[in-house]
Amino acid sequence: MKTITSFLLFLSVSNIIMAQSGKNVENHQLTLNVLLPGIIYEQGLSQNSTLVAEATIGFAYRESDFLESGLGIYPIGKLQYRYYYNFDRRLEMSKNISGNTGNYIAPTVAIQGGKAVIGDLDYVSDYFGGIGAVYGLQRTGQKGLQFRFEVGPGYFFDQFESNFGIFLALKLGWVVSKG
């Protein structure tokens, strides 16, 4: 009997806590990028955090008098855990947070293929990777137009070398689905 009472008390307290801690982030959101064609899926995890998976296409062009000129289109994949830290302040100022409009910090992992999917410009390495943390801001308009800017330090590597650098991203796209 004591176990059943404890279990019911636990369920009651859990329901009260869950009811009071609604998410500020969207449960899920799908965005199509325009500047670098790609797709982003953002899954709400907690009140102010999301997990983001991004698949994008990268372009490279080289014109040289000493090497062969070439063009390459490469696949890029990226994962982030975003923590939106300014939702409460935006709400206090009666500003929009719809579409995960806010500022965030995010540990980031990215990988890019070194062999062109389209084109003839292949890198010596089969892949490039990066691990770092970014500061970002994302703004989503009422009609779904979305702007995103990210910057932060990163550790970059390929098959042959590694070094430190900067993650930098500027994205423009449309939110096609959210809930």
In the prediction, which pLDDT does 21 show?
53
Task: Give the C-alpha separation, 70 to 84, whole Å.
Answer: 40
Task: Give the C-alpha separation, 144 to 45, whole Å.
Answer: 21
Task: Give the C-alpha separation, 172 to 147, whole Å.
Answer: 5
In the prediction, which pLDDT does 3 show?
45
For β-strands 28-33 and 118-119, DSSP reports them as unpaired
Outline where 21-52 has alpha helix (H): none
User: Residue 73 has which token pair?
Assistant: 């289109």
In the prediction, which pLDDT does 70 show?
84
pTM more than 0.75:
yes
Task: Give the C-alpha separation, 97 to 29, whole Å.
Answer: 13
In the prediction, which pLDDT does 42 show?
96
Task: Give the C-alpha separation, 76 to 56, whole Å.
Answer: 5
In the prediction, which pLDDT does 35 show?
84
In the prediction, which pLDDT does 159 show?
92
Amino acid in position 19: A
Task: Give the C-alpha separation, 174 to 35, whole Å.
Answer: 11
The per-residue pLDDT string of the chain (179 residues; one tens digit each, 9 = 90 and over) reads 454 444 444 444 444 344 345 789 999 999 999 988 999 999 999 999 999 999 999 888 878 777 777 888 999 999 999 999 999 898 899 888 999 999 999 999 999 998 888 988 888 889 999 999 999 999 999 899 999 999 999 999 999 999 999 999 999 999 999 88
